[in-house]
Amino acid sequence: MTWKTHLRLFTFALLLLPALAWPWSRYAHELVGYLAMQDLSSEARAGVVALLGDDNLARVGSWADEVRPDRPETGPLHYVNGPVDALFPAEADYALAQGNVYSAILGYAPRVVDVDLPVTERAEALKFLVHFLADLHQPLHAGFAEDRGANLVPVIYRGETLNLHRYWDNEILDPHRERYSAAGLAAILHHRHSDAERDQWAAEFDVRAWVVEARAYLFNGLYPLPRRDHGTDEEDAVMVLDESYREVWLPVAERQLARAGARLAAGLNALFETGTSPYAQSPVAMPPPGH
């Protein structure tokens, strides 16, 4: 079977799937939660305990993925798309009626501290906020509709055919997962970045700026160049992700996860200390889907 046939079959199989948004792995979501927990203020720590009880930000990090099969209306809230030929999404990209990860962050944040809501709804809003803020920092969750955030971009990794989005959600962290627990890696990444650096990341609650920050990587080499083996033409070429690719992009994944942790902590600190959302008003009507 030629590469051309192989890749066509791969793409056809992907198109048969009902949903194509692989999330940051559970490991990555736990990592963001543990990072954020190290920077919570006393007010935010007490507020999180009041809503989550025996759970914590790390344990609830993947909750939004777990409920997604039963809450299909939340599917579009895991990502935001932008044009393939421009860094900045258009206003229409942010204001889709079905929502996206941008509007979800803005919409769920005030619900976390809305004392007129039942505690169960506030806790759910917190769990969604924790998850979606982490999702936004995976660059391909701010990708292109044309390739479904690179879910339709086949790559070869360790001899296996998968897609570029899945690699970024999961496989790129393989060396860490094999050595450290999520809590252990969080401690390492937290120590790597100074208080001043984390404060700089979290200084402004500009979610659109975070979208552009993530998208910038897409235009600066995150899509690897295809390998053209002897005798293959342009259409037969396939992207192979080897250790040289990981050496370049694993530090970026680490930085994005550290940024997510710092920004999650800062957002929760602001929410629980002031009782109001630090983010701008959502352009999409809330309450969230399902209510």
Domain 3-16+23-274 = CATH 1.10.575.10? yes
Q: Is 169 known to be catalytic? A: yes
Using an 8 Å Cβ cutoff, are 149 and 143 in contact? yes
Q: Is 191 a catalytic residue?
A: no
Annotated catalytic residue within 131, 148, 193, 263:
131
Q: What confidence score (pLDDT) does residue 11 get?
A: 45
> What is the predicted pLDDT for the residue at 265?
98
| 29 a catalytic residue | yes
Q: Establish whether 242 is a catalytic residue.
A: no
**What's the pLDDT score for residue 182?**
97
Per-run averaged pLDDT (10 residues), the chain, 291 residues: 45 41 81 98 98 97 96 96 96 94 96 97 98 98 96 94 95 95 97 94 94 97 72 63 95 97 98 94 52 45
Give the active site residue among 141, 176, 193, 198. 141
Q: Map out the domains of the chain as residue ranges.
A: 3-16+23-274
65 is catalytic: yes
Q: Which of 22, 29, 111, 249 is catalytic?
A: 29
Predicted structure pTM score: 0.88
| Strand segments (E) across the chain | 154-157, 160-163, 239-240
